[in-house]
Amino acid sequence: MKNNMMDQCDGCDQCDACGALDDYCDRCETDFFLLIDRLVNDVQRLISKVVCLRYSLSWYLGRHEGEMLRCDVLSDLHGDYYEQSVYQRFVSACYDGQDPMECEHYIDNLLKLSNGVGTVDF
């Protein structure tokens, strides 16, 4: 029974759709990687928006609450995707082993946003 995305191929008869990415052809693997990349970009954008909103909100709260929120503006933003073997393969194949959720440019941008520098288009 096919019950998740990894169990379904879009009609490529080269794949053995048993649920493991190892059994998909290169074209299907590339399609999965493109989807994961788009999802990572969406998550990065949403996290950036959350950081901006938390920072902005902190100035409307009481002094103590605002300071606490500014201290925690980067807390609990995303899960640990790297534990997933498919995500590890994606990072290895598409980003030379550097997790895009931890790349220097992205982290630097989040740090700036957490200090009220820069914006994210809503």
Q: Which residue has the higher pLDDT, 99 or 16?
A: 99
> Which residues have CB under 8 Å from 77's CB, separation 6+?
47, 50, 51
Would the CA dihedral through 61, 65, 69, 75 be positive or negative? negative
Residue 80 lies in a domain: yes
Q: Is residue 19 part of a domain?
A: yes
Is residue 122 in a domain?
no
Q: Is residue 120 part of a domain?
A: no
What sign does the CA torsion over 103, 105, 106, 111 have? positive
Measure the CA–CA gap between 109 and 64, rounded to whole angstroms.
Answer: 26
Predicted structure pTM score: 0.75
Q: What is the pLDDT of residues 60-104, one digit of tens each?
A: 988 999 888 888 888 888 778 888 888 998 999 999 999 999 999
**100, two tokens:** 């895009």
> What are the distances in angstroms from CA 66 to CA 61, 70, 83?
5, 6, 34
- Residue 24 domain-assigned? yes
What is the total count of domains within the chain? 1
Domain of 54, in residue numbers: 5-114
